[in-house]
């Protein structure tokens, strides 16, 4: 179940997952979304009481996330930083005499050079650059996922059907086990390679085990022994894919 929940003066995006195998309630933020996993038998009334008890802590955490998001909003000016393949790149803004936006990723110099036309209203130009960056990141993520999925499918011996890459900031990936379809965020290209591997193996293993139970995590850890450490990093650093 997804939606919004009111906490004091804030409306927080929320996703609630119920599992038969869950023994306790887990509440955490994934990006800017509050995620809750709970036992299926637990009533919504009891869950709301638990959320109420943790209201002050949730409010404080979400305010911090909102502040971090504001800091990650890019104006695409020279000197701004953005992550690419797990490293911090510097934005270099140049003028383009043509009415086009041209973007070059210089890996050795760790720079993203943006050539954009002058005399265009800033908000319109920002939106156009946003879209251009998203398009490049999506294409590069598709290439990355294609190579890595082929490898990990052979290693895990787990077959899949469709793969889709779409712009998402609240989830790194998801899976439809019944159809063996996988979905990944186009912003995975911003993460370190080891974390990308963890996301891919995580979603592949959902084809075998739908829920986050002991069997699921045992299977993931079989291929990614330090998965818990990588998962903590992904939860902690979700703001780096924001722009």
Encode pLDDT of 42-88 as tens digits. 998 999 999 999 999 998 888 877 766 656 678 899 999 999 999 99
Q: Which pLDDT score, from 0 to 100, does residue 163 have? A: 97
Q: Which domain holds residue 17?
A: 2-72
pTM summary value: 0.74
Which of 72, 97, 120 is the C-terminal boundary of a domain? 72
Q: Which pLDDT score, from 0 to 100, does residue 6 have? A: 87
Q: How many whole angstroms separate alpha carbon 134 and alpha carbon 98? A: 21
Which of 72, 98, 120 is the C-terminal boundary of a domain? 72
Q: Which pLDDT score, from 0 to 100, does residue 208 have? A: 96
Q: Low-confidence residues of the chain, pLDDT below 50? A: none
Domain total for the chain?
Answer: 3
- CA distance to 20, 165, 221, per residue, from 168 (Å): 28, 9, 25
Q: Which pLDDT score, from 0 to 100, does residue 29 have? A: 85
In a domain, 135, yes or no: no
Given a contact cutoff of 8 angstroms between Cβ atoms, the answer to whether 186 and 139 are in contact is no
Are residues 225 and 167 part of one domain? yes
Are residues 56 and 32 part of one domain? yes
Which of 54, 72, 90 is the C-terminal boundary of a domain? 72
């Amino acid at each position: 179940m997804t939606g919004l929940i009111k906490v004091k003066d804030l409306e927080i995006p929320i996703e609630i997952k119920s599992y038969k195998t869950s023994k306790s309630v887990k509440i955490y933020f994934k990006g800017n979304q509050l995620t809750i996993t709970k036992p299926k038998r637990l009533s919504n009334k009891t869950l709301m009481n638990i959320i109420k008890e943790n209201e002050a802590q949730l409010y404080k955490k979400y305010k911090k996330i909102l502040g971090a998001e504001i800091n990650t909003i890019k104006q695409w000016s020279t000197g701004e930083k953005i992550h690419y393949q797990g490293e911090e790149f510097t934005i270099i803004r140049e003028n383009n005499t043509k009415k086009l936006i041209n973007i070059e990723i210089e890996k050795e110099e760790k720079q993203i050079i943006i050539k954009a036309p002058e005399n265009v209203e800033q908000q319109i130009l920002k939106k156009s650059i946003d879209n251009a960056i998203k398009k490049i990141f999506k294409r590069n993520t598709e290439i990355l996922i294609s190579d890595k999925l082929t490898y990990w499918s052979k290693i895990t011996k787990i077959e899949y059907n469709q793969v889709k890459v779409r712009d998402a900031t609240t989830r790194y990936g998801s899976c439809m086990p019944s159809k063996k379809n996988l979905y990944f965020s186009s912003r995975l290209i911003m993460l370190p390679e080891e974390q990308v591997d963890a996301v891919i193996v995580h979603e592949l293993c959902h084809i075998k085990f739908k829920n986050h139970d002991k069997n699921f995590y045992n299977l993931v850890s079989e291929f990614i022994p330090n998965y818990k450490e990588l998962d903590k990093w992904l939860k902690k650093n979700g703001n780096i894919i924001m722009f």
